[in-house]
Amino acid sequence: MTFSDIFKSSFLANVTAVSMFDMVLALLLAFAVGVFIYLIYKMTYAGVMYSSTFGVTLVALTMITTLVILAVTSNVVLSLGMVGALSIVRFRTAIKEPLDIAFLFWSIAAGIVLAAGMIPLAVFGSVFIGLIILFFAKRKENTHPYIVVLDCNDHASEEKAVAYLKEKTNKCNVKSKTARRGSVELNLEIRLKDDNTDFVNELAQIEGVNSAVLVSYNGDYMG
């Protein structure tokens, strides 16, 4: 066996295992599906700070997964080496939004399905998943939670303020309470009956209430 025979058997056979048309088609479809996932992510994002780099990562992840799976499906030996190489990779970026995990798995799954040649499944599945996420993302509660921070002089003024809040709001729960000599500080979660916030002005006029602060609250931050 000559060097030319070894070269042909171990290299050229692998190159021709996946045709150029299949490679181009798979990567173009992966790009299109990745852009679709990116747009759905951008429309449904509800976190604190939107990161455009994460959206680009979704597009790149779909194409990279397609590229890897195309290589794996074309050569059994290469697939074993790829598994060993990827097993040592560790990702340490913190995922702050639970829905971001779903988008990451969506990108990876779309890349795998496209590389496997199941194009209708990848396209239809991505459209269906995108519509479901859009549907549930738009169904948000009409009543947004707020936090009221009260500074009262004593227990009597605290009871008056809490009773007034329960009368003016749909829901009022004490989240935290700090008692000092001569003052009581309360953090209460409330749900408004409407968009009118004038009750805060009246709340601050109650005898014994030094200050009343109303801030928006989404469970992660206040502002």
CA distance 168 to 166: 6
How does pLDDT run across 85-120, given as a tens digit for each residue? 555 556 566 666 778 888 989 998 998 888 888 889
Q: What is the pLDDT of residue 17?
A: 63
Tell me: do 162 and 67 sit in the same domain.
no
Confidence at 131, pLDDT banded by 50, 70, 90: very high
Residue 110: closest CA among 134, 129, 93? 129
- What is the domain extent for residue 202? 145-216
Tokens of 93: 């970026």
Give the Å distances, CA to CA, from 151 to 11, 62, 158, 190: 76, 52, 8, 16
Percent of the chain predicted with pLDDT > 70: 74
How many domains, in total, are found in the chain? 2
Tell me: do 20 and 109 sit in the same domain.
yes
Tell me: do 51 and 133 sit in the same domain.
yes
Residue at token pair 């990827």: 86
Tell me: do 50 and 115 sit in the same domain.
yes
- pTM score: 0.60
pLDDT (average), residues 58-68? 89
Tell me: do 82 and 43 sit in the same domain.
yes
Tell me: do 111 and 166 sit in the same domain.
no
pLDDT (average), residues 143-167? 85
